[in-house]
């Protein structure tokens, strides 16, 4: 026999080509292994797929949920709004056309729907206009073209009971319905489209045009550029999605480290074989790294496709709930691309550590399939503590910047500080595992063994503990901050109203400081509020009299926030508070918990009535007076009585001045708002009707908003943290136990039964859960204390007195207990027989 | 000078009371085209000797010289290159890489050394053809019989310009017919100038070797004298 001889690659020359050939061979094998053993990598693949898909769907929903930026502009960059009949209109249109070329004129006339308090817009607009075309979409039929034709929005057609081909009577004329239309940017828009020039008395006229960045001065009216209409916010949905994605990928990378390590050990003999054939360390490591890369690429691509498909399936529901049309592929592509890239990077980085580790194993040991016993390394807590201290100091810097109130939010320092918490946790995790093993020296056998295994196999256990801790850290920070923020009774925060409440605000509140409603206006608004309450079937409509008084707080921190009303007998009766329940000396009644304990309070008011001066006409028939106060009064340490019966909503009368105080201090009151309380929750349709009726009366209606309560924020954060930690635990415990499978087999061989195996898994899960909860909570408090201690706006660490005890108990006790229980229930499987297994 | 030389090689595992002396002052050489069989009971140090000779393990003492180059003077990557280019290793349990076909397994050392995939495959097919396995070239290891797998492993060990073949119980997992075939192939390789060292329990297979070395407790306790070469016979012919 003779060996086949091949020509070797030249020593000098195409060395690079040789390297590429070698890499290609190794990667090909890695890819084949991935295809053969994809089930073993399902966990990491699933993680990557879910993370990328969730990011794609989440970011797309978040960016498309708000009304489209620049709604009302169509494709125009500039617009001018004029009242109907404004003599400047023709000049403005002529100027725009002369200077910028084209202009689209849209005329709107607000008209009542016959037999309803509801209104609609009679709109004259060219459906093929240069800029307004995108604000119209034909659902069916055709656009109106003649003088007696109209196309209705679906909602209006329903109100009229009309369809294509029927006739509606409007403004003394009969209009034939030629089609059903919609405004894709606002599906709630109720309007009847007519041909340009067919609105006899427009209420408003909009001129759309594109100045192309050139000056619009001298057009004859105020121009609103699109850029000014779009709110700029550094924390937009894309940024938030990317921040969430980054943290998610860090967690995935930490979990994946364990997965790839176990995978590398499963392939240890193959990798040893490769080394025995002459593969360099780099080439052996490349197999593991290529595997990580392949998992990242496959997972991220599948995740991106799954996310896009999920989005396409969900899009119609989002259109319906957000009331505007959304293009099928209106995805935040930058976020999608970054999600794919970050997923690949996370998987690759996660595979690097096991790749390095596997090259350190001697070839003979690798060939025998026996990884060397982990070295007893004593981990120091110092590096982790140093990084946490650095995070504490940087967050303190951020807090001091944010607390100055000079517009500097300290956001960069905040981000750096929060990011520093992560390596702090990662560095402390191995130490904590070692410490737990030392502490558990006298624990029962299974617990002792579990703790020792966690400490011995720190590569997996350490990264799993870090991932759990980071999940808990996020949840704990949210819970602590929410408890601190919502616990501030001065700068009161939370939901504005209950679902059965509605507040009607007088238009005078929209005027400049010093605006006072005229008596006739108050009577008119009161009448409208009563009528609306009747239409809604209200239990009662309570007039809310604003008191001309302010609350001063000298104790530092946040200042008082909220509307101050008078505790009129009507208001107290509406909430079932008898006059006898009010202390005779009480100045303030409030439902804000703990307000009576706030020190350094004072009431301040102006002794001279504003109405003593000469006023000028204000909005809604009100009068504007000079609001400068020549002589003010002050009552230090007012008597505060907490009354739980008062409503707690931010916009509800949660802080009222007693009649006794009003009388003795000579305070002035005036009706500004009306609280409507109904017998059942107010529906969205009722809210819309109320808003239109309020607008018709020169008022505005405020209903329950989506702001969450303190408990909601804390509970959701806790649930998120616990779910995340348990998910990581579920993924990690199996990996960690698989590494000690040999010990488990030995235990079984020496007579350990299912109970021992269950106890071992339960102890592993419980220990990881508890240590993760502990480390995450401590790191969370380090971060929050660091930020808040130097924040003058928050008044130091005092707000941290509001500890979310139930949530912390759930995290520190509940989560480990669930982990123990789940580990015990799922950990009784008999280990596979140990046998010498060849590579094939 | 021998192609493979082990000079006073010692291997010690552990330390203190747990110290195990796997090899103790072992010296032997394998010439080009020579076949040396190493025999001994379990734990005698046979496999350790082979792994040290194949640069898979470092000796605790002594020196290993291959083709005039001392392994102790080589870097980690130099040794890897030596294994790619010079040393072929055959294991008892074949150790073919799953996921790669027979041809890909054989061409792997060449590709690792930078040979293009096409040329490496051509060489692999030639090697397989010589071993009568070319029609099984596209099969994966788990689709081959034990004998076929070992033939693929031998093809992988000899492909390219390998000049040292190390086989650790190459017939341990095979029946007698296949075992003999394997030894025949190793001998055929030796006839092309390859130096070979085979660890075996089987005295019948060891009989194929030019020389048999007996190990016990890490030391060479006996060895058969190599038959004199033709040149030696001529030079030591009848004296005048």
pLDDT tens string, chain B, 240 residues long: the values are: 789 999 999 999 888 777 888 999 999 999 999 999 999 998 899 989 999 999 988 999 999 999 999 999 998 888 888 988 899 988 877 788 877 889 988 988 888 888 888 888 999 999 898 888 889 999 988 889 888 888 899 888 888 888 999 999 888 777 877 788 888 888 888 998 999 999 988 888 888 899 999 999 999 988 876 555 555 555 555 544
pLDDT, tens only, B76-96? 888 888 988 899 988 877 788
Chain-wide mean pLDDT for chain A? 82
Of A1, A9, A840, the CB nearest to B141: A840
Q: Could you give the CA distance from residue A100 to residue A98 in angstroms, rounded to a whole number?
A: 6
Q: Which one is predicted more confidently, A835 or A160?
A: A160
Query: Residue B164: closest CA among chain A residues belongs to which residue?
Result: A3
Query: Residue A286: closest CA among chain B residues belongs to which residue?
Result: B112
A18/B117 touch (CB, cutoff 8 Å), yes or no: no
Residue A636's contacts (CB-CB under 8 Å, 6 or more residues apart) are A601, A602
Q: Could you give the CA distance from residue B69 to residue A513 in angstroms, rounded to a whole number?
A: 95
Q: Which stretches within chain B are classed as H helix?
A: 46-53, 76-85, 102-112, 117-130, 146-158, 176-191, 203-206, 230-235
Q: Which two tokens stand for residue A346?
A: 């996370």
pLDDT band at A833 (very low <50, low <70, confident <90, very high): very low
Question: What are the phi and psi torsion angles at A31 (to 5°)?
Answer: -65, -40
The confidence score (pLDDT) of residue B240 equals 46
Of B56, B100, B159, the CB nearest to A29: B100
Question: CA angle B52-B54-B58, nearest 5°?
Answer: 35
pLDDT band at A829 (very low <50, low <70, confident <90, very high): low
Asked if residue A618 has pLDDT above 80, the reply is no
The confidence score (pLDDT) of residue A4 equals 41
The confidence score (pLDDT) of residue A11 equals 43
Q: Could you give the CA distance from residue A211 to residue A259 in angstroms, rounded to a whole number?
A: 58
Asked if residue A834 has pLDDT above 50, the reply is no
Dihedral sign, CA of B122, B128, B132, B135? negative
Which of B22, B56, B58, B114 best tests the A interface by mutation, with the highest count of A CBs <10 A?
B114
The confidence score (pLDDT) of residue B32 equals 92
What is the pLDDT averaged over residues A333-357? 90
The confidence score (pLDDT) of residue B238 equals 53
Question: What are the phi and psi torsion angles at A421 (to 5°)?
Answer: -60, -30
Asked if residue A10 has pLDDT above 60, the reply is no
Q: Could you give the CA distance from residue A78 to residue A97 in angstroms, rounded to a whole number?
A: 13
| Among A25-29, A351-355, A836-840, the range of highest mean pLDDT | A351-355
CA distances to A44, A254, A424, A725, A809 from A718, in Å: 25, 21, 22, 10, 10
The confidence score (pLDDT) of residue A739 equals 61
B57/A363 touch (CB, cutoff 8 Å), yes or no: yes
Placement of tokens 């005078």 in the chain: A508
Q: Which one is predicted more confidently, A399 or A626?
A: A399
Contacts of B104 in chain A (CB under 8 A): 28-29
Q: Which one is predicted more confidently, A278 or A772?
A: A772
pLDDT band at A557 (very low <50, low <70, confident <90, very high): confident
What is the pLDDT averaged over residues A545-558? 84
The confidence score (pLDDT) of residue A744 equals 67
Report the candidate in A290, A460, A275, A292 with the shortest Cα–Cα distance to residue A366: A275
The confidence score (pLDDT) of residue A320 equals 83
The confidence score (pLDDT) of residue A250 equals 81
Helices B146-158 + B176-191 axis angle, to 10: 10
The confidence score (pLDDT) of residue A178 equals 94
The confidence score (pLDDT) of residue A657 equals 94
What is the pLDDT averaged over residues A70-97? 81
Q: Count of CB contacts below 8 A, A vs B?
A: 162
What is the pLDDT averaged over residues A806-814? 92
Of B99, B112, B122, the CB nearest to A277: B112
Contacts of B141 in chain A (CB under 8 A): 839-840
Contact A192, A150 (CB under 8 A): yes
The confidence score (pLDDT) of residue A2 equals 41
Dihedral sign, CA of A704, A706, A712, A714? negative
Of B76, B99, B142, the CB nearest to A32: B99
User: Which residues are paired to A104 by β-bridges?
Assistant: A208
The confidence score (pLDDT) of residue A840 equals 40
Side-by-side strand order, sheet with B35-39: B87-90, B164-168, B195-199, B35-39, B211-216, B219-223
Q: In angstroms, what separates the C-alpha of A433 from chain B's closest C-alpha? A: 28
Query: Residue B33: closest CA among chain A residues belongs to which residue?
Result: A2
Q: Could you give the CA distance from residue A446 to residue A764 in angstroms, rounded to a whole number?
A: 9
Of A2, A36, A839, the CB nearest to B130: A2
The confidence score (pLDDT) of residue A13 equals 43
Asked if residue A59 has pLDDT above 80, the reply is yes
Query: Residue B158: closest CA among chain A residues belongs to which residue?
Result: A3
A21/B111 touch (CB, cutoff 8 Å), yes or no: yes
Q: In angstroms, what separates the C-alpha of A284 from chain B's closest C-alpha? A: 10
Of A8, A25, A273, the CB nearest to B117: A25
pLDDT, tens only, A117-142? 567 888 999 988 888 888 888 999 99
Question: What are the phi and psi torsion angles at B188 (to 5°)?
Answer: -60, -40
The DSSP symbol for A798 reads G
Query: Residue A20: closest CA among chain B residues belongs to which residue?
Result: B114
Q: Could you give the CA distance from residue A367 to residue A346 in angstroms, rounded to a whole number?
A: 29
Contacts of B32 in chain A (CB under 8 A): none
Domains and CATH numbers, chain B: 1-86+163-173+188-240 (3.40.50.300), 97-160 (no CATH)
Helices A684-696 + A519-535 axis angle, to 10: 160
pLDDT, tens only, A423-482? 999 999 999 999 998 898 888 877 888 888 888 877 778 888 998 999 899 889 988 988
Report the candidate in A732, A616, A630 with the shortest Cα–Cα distance to residue A255: A732
Residue B71's contacts (CB-CB under 8 Å, 6 or more residues apart) are B55, B63, B64, B65, B79, B82
Q: In angstroms, what separates the C-alpha of B9 from chain A's closest C-alpha? A: 17
Q: Counting Cβ atoms within 10 Å, is residue A103 exposed (0-12), middle (13-18) or buried (19+)?
A: buried
Q: In angstroms, what separates the C-alpha of A358 from chain B's closest C-alpha? A: 15
Contacts of A271 in chain B (CB under 8 A): none
Of A7, A273, A281, the CB nearest to B97: A273
Query: Residue A284: closest CA among chain B residues belongs to which residue?
Result: B112
The confidence score (pLDDT) of residue A324 equals 83
Q: Counting Cβ atoms within 10 Å, is residue A633 exposed (0-12), middle (13-18) or buried (19+)?
A: middle
CB atoms within 10 A of CB A254: 27
The ipTM, to two decimals, is 0.80
Q: In angstroms, what separates the C-alpha of A42 from chain B's closest C-alpha? A: 18
CB atoms within 10 A of CB A440: 19
Contacts of B120 in chain A (CB under 8 A): 6, 21, 25
**SS3 of chain A: helix, strand, coil, percent, to 5:** 55, 15, 35
Contacts of B95 in chain A (CB under 8 A): 269, 273, 276, 367, 838-839
Find how far residue A4's CA is from the centre of its chain: 66
CB atoms within 10 A of CB B226: 14
End-to-end CA distance of chain B: 29
Give kind and range of the element (H or E) at residue A588. Answer: strand A588-590
The confidence score (pLDDT) of residue A231 equals 56
Query: Residue A34: closest CA among chain B residues belongs to which residue?
Result: B99
pLDDT band at A747 (very low <50, low <70, confident <90, very high): low
Q: Which two tokens stand for residue B24?
A: 């103790």
pLDDT band at A115 (very low <50, low <70, confident <90, very high): low
Asked if residue A74 has pLDDT above 70, the reply is yes
User: Which residues are paired to A502 by β-bridges?
Assistant: A676, A703
Q: In angstroms, what separates the C-alpha of B239 from chain A's closest C-alpha? A: 38
Of B99, B124, B188, the CB nearest to A1: B188
CB atoms within 10 A of CB A826: 15
pLDDT band at A8 (very low <50, low <70, confident <90, very high): very low
What is the pLDDT averaged over residues A666-686? 84
Q: In angstroms, what separates the C-alpha of A365 from chain B's closest C-alpha? A: 9
The answer to whether A17 faces chain B, any CB pair under 8 Å, is yes
The confidence score (pLDDT) of residue A283 equals 87
Sequential DSSP letters for A462-498: HHHHHHHHHHHHHHHHHHHHHHHHHT-SSB--S-SS-
What is the pLDDT averaged over residues A652-675? 90
Q: What is the pTM of this model?
A: 0.68
Which of A1, A16, A269, A284 best tests the B interface by mutation, with the highest count of B CBs <10 A?
A1
Residue B210's contacts (CB-CB under 8 Å, 6 or more residues apart) are B34, B35, B36, B226, B227
**How many residues appear in chain A?**
840
Of B83, B117, B120, the CB nearest to A276: B83
Give kind and range of the element (H or E) at residue A779. Answer: helix A754-789
Contacts of B94 in chain A (CB under 8 A): 838-840
Report the candidate in A280, A301, A261, A273 with the shortest Cα–Cα distance to residue A45: A301
What is the pLDDT averaged over residues A170-186? 86
Residue % of chain A over a pLDDT of 90: 22
What is the pLDDT averaged over residues A91-104? 86
Q: In angstroms, what separates the C-alpha of B115 from chain A's closest C-alpha? A: 6
Q: In angstroms, what separates the C-alpha of A369 from chain B's closest C-alpha? A: 12
Of B80, B126, B158, the CB nearest to A278: B80
The answer to whether A283 faces chain B, any CB pair under 8 Å, is yes
Residues of A numbered 363-422 whose beta carbons fall under 8 angstroms of chain B's beta carbons: which are they? Answer: 363-364, 367
Q: In angstroms, what separates the C-alpha of A375 from chain B's closest C-alpha? A: 14
């Amino acid at each position: 026999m003779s060996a086949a001889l091949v020509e070797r690659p030249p020593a000098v020359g195409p060395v690079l080509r040789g390297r590429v050939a070698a890499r290609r061979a190794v990667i090909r094998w890695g890819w084949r292994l991935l295809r053969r053993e994809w089930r073993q990598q399902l966990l990491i693949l699933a993680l990557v797929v879910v993370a990328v898909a969730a990011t794609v769907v989440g970011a797309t929903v978040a960016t498309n949920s708000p009304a489209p930026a620049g709604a009302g502009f169509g494709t125009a960059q500039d617009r001018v709004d004029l009242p109907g009949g404004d003599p400047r209109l023709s000049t403005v249109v002529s100027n725009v056309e002369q200077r910028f070329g084209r202009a689209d004129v849209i005329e709107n006339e607000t008209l009542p729907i016959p037999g309803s308090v509801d209104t609609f817009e009679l709109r004259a607009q060219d459906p093929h206009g240069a800029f307004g075309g995108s604000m119209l979409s034909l659902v069916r039929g055709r656009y109106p073209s003649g003088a007696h034709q109209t196309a209705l929005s679906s909602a209006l057609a329903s109100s009229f009971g009309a369809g294509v081909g029927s006739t509606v009577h409007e403004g003394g004329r009969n209009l034939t319905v030629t089609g059903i239309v919609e405004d894709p940017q606002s599906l709630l828009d109720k309007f009847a489209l007519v041909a340009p020039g067919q609105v006899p008395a427009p209420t408003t006229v909009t001129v759309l045009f594109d100045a192309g960045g050139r000056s619009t001065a001298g057009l004859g009216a105020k121009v609103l550029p699109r850029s000014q209409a779009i709110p700029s916010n550094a924390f937009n949905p894309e940024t938030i999605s990317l921040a969430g994605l980054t943290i998610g990928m860090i967690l995935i990378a930490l979990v994946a480290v364990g997965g790839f390590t176990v995978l590398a050990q499963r392939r240890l003999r193959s990798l040893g074989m490769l080394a025995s054939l002459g593969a360099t360390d780099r080439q052996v490591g490349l197999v593991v790294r290529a595997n990580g890369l392949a998992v990242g690429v496959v997972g991220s691509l599948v995740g991106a496709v799954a996310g896009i498909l999920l989005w396409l399936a969900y899009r119609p529901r989002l259109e319906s709930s957000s009331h505007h049309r959304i293009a099928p592929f209106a995805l935040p592509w930058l976020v999608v691309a970054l999600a794919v890239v970050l997923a690949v990077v996370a998987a690759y980085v996660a595979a690097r550590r096991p790749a390095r580790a596997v090259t350190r194993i001697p070839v003979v040991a690798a060939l025998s399939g026996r990884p060397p016993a982990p070295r007893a390394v004593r981990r120091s807590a110092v590096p982790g503590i140093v990084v946490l201290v650095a995070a504490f100091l940087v967050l303190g810097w951020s807090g001091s910047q944010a607390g100055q109130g000079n517009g500097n939010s300290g956001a960069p320092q905040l981000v750096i500080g929060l990011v520093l918490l992560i390596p702090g946790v990662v560095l402390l995790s191995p130490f904590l595992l070692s410490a737990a093993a030392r502490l558990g020296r006298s624990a029962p056998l299974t617990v002792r063994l579990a703790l020792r295994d966690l400490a011995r196999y720190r590569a997996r256990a350490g990264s799993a503990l870090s991932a759990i801790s980071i999940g808990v850290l996020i949840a704990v920070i949210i819970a602590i901050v929410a408890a601190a923020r919502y616990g501030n009774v001065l700068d009161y925060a939370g939901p504005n109203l209950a679902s059965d409440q509605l507040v009607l605000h007088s238009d005078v509140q929209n005027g400049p400081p010093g605006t006072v409603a005229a008596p006739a206006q108050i009577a008119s608004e009161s009448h409208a509020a009563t009528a609306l309450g009747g239409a809604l079937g209200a239990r009662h409509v309570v007039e809310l009299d604003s008191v001309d008084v302010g609350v001063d707080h000298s104790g530092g921190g946040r200042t008082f926030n909220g509307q101050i009303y008078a505790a009129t007998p009507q208001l107290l009766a509406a909430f079932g508070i008898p006059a006898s329940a009010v202390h005779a000396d009480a100045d303030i009644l409030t439902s804000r918990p703990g307000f009576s304990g706030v020190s350094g309070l004072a009431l301040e008011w102006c002794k001279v009535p504003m109405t003593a001066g000469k006023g000028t006409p204000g909005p809604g028939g009100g009068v504007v007076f000079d609001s400068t106060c020549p002589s003010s009064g002050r009552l230090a340490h007012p008597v505060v009585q907490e009354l739980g019966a008062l409503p707690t909503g931010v916009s509800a009368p949660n802080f009222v001045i007693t009649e006794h105080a009003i009388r003795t201090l000579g305070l002035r009151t005036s009706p500004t708002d009306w609280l409507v309380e109904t017998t059942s929750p107010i529906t969205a349709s009722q809210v819309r009707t109320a808003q239109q009726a309020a607008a018709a009366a020169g008022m505005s209606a405020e209903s329950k908003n989506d702001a969450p309560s303190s408990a909601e924020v804390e509970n959701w954060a806790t649930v998120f943290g616990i779910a995340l930690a348990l998910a990581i635990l579920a993924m990690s415990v199996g990996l960690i136990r698989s590494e000690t499978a040999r010990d488990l087999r030995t235990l079984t061989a020496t007579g350990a039964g299912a109970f021992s195996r269950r106890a071992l898994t339960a102890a592993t899960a419980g220990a990881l859960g508890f240590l993760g909860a502990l480390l995450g909570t401590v790191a969370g408090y380090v971060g929050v204390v660091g930020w808040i201690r130097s924040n003058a706006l928050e008044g130091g660490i005092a707000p941290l007195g509001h500890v979310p005890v139930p949530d912390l108990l759930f995290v520190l006790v509940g989560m480990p207990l669930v982990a123990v229980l789940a580990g015990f229930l799922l950990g009784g499987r008999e280990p596979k027989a140990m046998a010498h297994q060849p590579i094939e | 000078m021998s192609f493979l030389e082990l000079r006073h090689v010692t291997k010690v595992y552990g330390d203190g009371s747990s110290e195990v002396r796997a090899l103790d002052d072992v010296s032997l050489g394998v010439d080009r085209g020579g076949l040396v069989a190493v025999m001994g009971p379990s734990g005698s140090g046979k496999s350790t000797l082979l792994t040290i000779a194949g640069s898979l393990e470092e000796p605790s003492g002594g020196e290993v010289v291959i083709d005039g180059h001392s392994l102790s003077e080589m870097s980690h990557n130099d040794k890897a290159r030596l294994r790619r280019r010079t040393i072929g290793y055959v294991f008892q349990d074949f150790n073919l890489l799953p996921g790669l076909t027979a041809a890909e397994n054989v061409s792997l050392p060449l590709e690792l050394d930078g040979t293009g995939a096409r040329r490496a495959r051509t060489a692999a097919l030639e090697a397989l053809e010589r071993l009568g396995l070319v029609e099984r070239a596209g099969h994966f290891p788990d689709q081959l019989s034990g004998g076929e797998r070992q033939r693929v492993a031998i093809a992988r060990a000899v492909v390219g310009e390998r000049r040292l073949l190390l086989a650790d119980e190459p017939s341990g997992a095979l029946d007698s017919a296949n075992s003999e075939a394997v030894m025949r192939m190793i001998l055929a390789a030796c006839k092309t100038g390859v130096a070979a060292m085979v660890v075996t329990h089987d005295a019948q297979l060891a009989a194929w070797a030019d020389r048999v070395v007996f190990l016990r407790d890490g030391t060479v306790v006996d060895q058969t004298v190599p038959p004199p070469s033709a040149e030696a016979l001529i030079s030591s012919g009848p004296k005048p």
